[in-house]
Amino acid sequence: MTKIEIDHFDGDLPIDNLSDSNNYDLKYLDACDLNYANFFEKFMLRNLPCIIRNITSSWQCTNNWIKNEKINIEYLIDHYGDVDAPVADCDAITFNAHCKINMKVKEYMQYLQSCERDKLLYLKDWHLRRLRPNDLFYEVPLFFGSDWLNEFATDRGEDDFMFVYIGPTKSWTPLHADVYNSYSWSVNVVGQKKWTLFPPGEEEKLKDSLGNLPVMFHPEKFPGVKFLEIVQDGGDALFVPSGWHHQVVNLLDTISINHNWVNACNIENVWSSLQQCLSSVEYEIRDLKDSPEYISQCQVILKSLFGMDFSNFLIFLSYIGNKRITQLRKENSKGFNNIELGQNHIMFDLKTLHKVMNLIQNHPIFSYNCISPDIESDFIKIKKSISMIL
């Protein structure tokens, strides 16, 4: 079992240290020279992007999915041909997102192999790891091992946030921010991508009079907007920080592996985004404020827009808090992807959880009776147990 540890942090948590608006120079690092504690302190805590090179040298897919420096179409058909995968049509946009259908992988590979393509199709958000749990085609890089989101999902057998993307040259992903305001990491197995990243707040300069973002950013239309343009090669991992809007274009036929993830460094950002989304929902249906269904309806809409409601968030925090307590007591040391957390790391997680739990308990909605008694009781019990440890 691999172990990750951080330095001991005294005093206030440094998780409020968001991106330095005057320091957007992208750092290029080598996985062989980088340790977890350094990445944790200089990039996750500071919410700054970076490229980590030489990530895929030990991955099975590096040998199996690549032939003559291109996608090994025959191998993918032989091993995954009858599997269904979601495929987006890059030429069909609805509500700033690509329209999707399901295709057999062999059908998509035949499309990719064809010289004549009447559509620009992009296989994306494919849960291959969940479909083939014994197929160890990649390893989660150690730097991204503190992953509450996928730890929670895999422990409970729920939908994970681990994806494979396969796209031809010129396929693209519209301008967006990641689900829950999470981090994401993306590793190119083969091919090349161009990313455009926007520091938090810059996306406001791109919105129209109705508050809508463009589907794609074109620099000549938005002078004065700060952004980073990054070319990602095969074997490179890109760390996309919390709240950084981005768009992506494949410069070559490309396969990448992507995770969305949350941990102690960005959980307060997630909580802030949840509150902002709830406030927007409450404003949009303010005419129903005096109706008895107003509170519950706000939660229903919140879940549809944000991906989780208030109760889901409490369940998530309570689960991680309870697990960290058992890990601290040495009752269970196994974390996400069989990674063990060091004691300083566990204490950092617990201290951060306690801070966010306090913020939640002081939020007006906590007293609105929109949470079941069992969820509320468990939340309070876990928070109290963490208080006793701290």
pLDDT tens, position by position, 146-181? 999 999 999 999 999 999 999 999 999 999 999 999
Domain end call among 261, 292, 309: 261
- Shared domain check, 307 and 255: no
Q: How far is CA 337 from CA 126, 319, 340, in A?
A: 19, 17, 9
Asked if 305 contacts 277 with a C-beta cutoff of 8 angstroms, the reply is: yes
User: What pLDDT is stored for residue 12 in this prediction?
Assistant: 52
- Shared domain check, 292 and 239: no
- Shared domain check, 287 and 233: no
Name the pairing type of β-strands 2-4 and 84-94.
unpaired
Give the other-Cβ count within 10 Å of 205's Cβ.
12
Domain end call among 201, 227, 261: 261
Helix (H, G, I), strand (E, B) or coil at 177: coil
User: Tokens representing 94?
Assistant: 């609805």
Q: How confident is the model at residue 131 (pLDDT cuts 50, 70, 90)?
A: very high
Please, where are the H alpha helices in the chain? 36-39, 60-64, 73-80, 105-113, 128-131, 148-156, 267-284, 294-306, 310-328, 343-361, 373-389
Asked if 349 contacts 320 with a C-beta cutoff of 8 angstroms, the reply is: yes
Give the domain range for residue 140: 2-261
pLDDT above 50 (res 14): no
Please, where are the H alpha helices in 84-241? 105-113, 128-131, 148-156
Which secondary structure element, helix H or strand E, spans residue 3, and what is its range?
A: strand 2-4
Domain end call among 196, 228, 261: 261
Residue among 292, 280, 267, 283 nearest 360 (CA): 267
- Shared domain check, 271 and 163: no
Q: How confident is the model at residue 7 (pLDDT cuts 50, 70, 90)?
A: confident
For the chain, what percent of residues have pLDDT higher than 90?
83
- Shared domain check, 277 and 217: no
User: What pLDDT is stored for residue 160 in this prediction?
Assistant: 95
Mean pLDDT value across residues 206-234:
94
- Shared domain check, 317 and 286: yes
- Shared domain check, 67 and 207: yes
Q: Which residue has the tokens 């090994």?
A: 72
- Shared domain check, 53 and 38: yes
- Shared domain check, 187 and 100: yes
- Shared domain check, 245 and 306: no
pLDDT tens-place string over residues 233-250? 999 999 999 999 999 999
Overall number of domains in the chain: 2
CATH of the domain at 60: 2.60.120.650
- Shared domain check, 382 and 363: yes
Helix (H, G, I), strand (E, B) or coil at 371: coil
Q: How confident is the model at residue 8 (pLDDT cuts 50, 70, 90)?
A: confident
Asked if 121 contacts 89 with a C-beta cutoff of 8 angstroms, the reply is: yes
- Shared domain check, 95 and 34: yes
